[in-house]
C-alpha cells in the first residue's frame, strides 16, 4: 500500500489509514495529518529527506521514516503548484 513517503513531488493524495503506534505520529496528527486530509508533497531537503508536506495551506516537515506510518489512497493526483494548495 502506498504511504506519504511514496508520493512524488508536486502530487497530493488523501490519507486513508494511520498507524497511531508509530513514534511521533500523534504529534503529527495534532498538526492536522489525519484520515481524510488531502496532503501534498512540496519537496525535500538534500538527499530526499526530510519531506515537506502541506495540508490545507500549512507546511509540515516530516522525516521519510515517519511518513511511512500514513497510508494514502491509490489515486494520487498532480496538484496545481502555487503557494496554497
Among 8, 74, 75, 83, binds other proteins (CB under 8 A): 83
Q: Which is nearer to other proteins, 36 or 74 (CB)?
A: 36
Q: What is the dihedral of CA 48, 68, 31, 35, to 10 degrees?
A: 140
For residues 75 and 81, which CB has a smaller minimum distance to other proteins in the complex? 81
Task: Return d(Cα 58, Cα 7) in angstroms, integer.
Answer: 17
CB of 30 to other proteins, least distance (A): 4
What's the half-sphere exposure (Cβ side, CA atoms, 13 Å) at 80? 5
Q: Kindly state the cell numbers that stand for 13.
A: 493524495
Q: Which residues bind other proteins (CB under 8 A)?
A: 18, 20, 23-32, 34-37, 42-50, 52, 55-63, 65-66, 80-84
Amino acid at each position: 500500500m502506498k504511504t506519504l513517503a511514496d508520493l512524488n513531488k508536486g502530487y497530493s493524495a488523501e490519507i486513508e489509514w494511520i498507524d497511531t503506534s508509530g513514534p511521533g505520529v500523534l504529534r503529527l496528527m495534532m498538526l492536522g495529518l489525519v484520515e481524510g486530509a488531502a496532503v501534498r508533497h512540496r519537496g525535500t531537503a538534500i538527499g530526499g529527506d526530510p519531506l515537506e508536506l502541506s495540508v490545507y495551506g500549512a507546511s509540515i516537515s516530516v522525516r521519510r521514516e515517519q511518513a511511512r506510518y500514513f497510508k494514502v489512497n491509490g489515486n494520487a493526483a498532480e496538484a496545481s503548484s502555487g503557494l496554497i494548495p
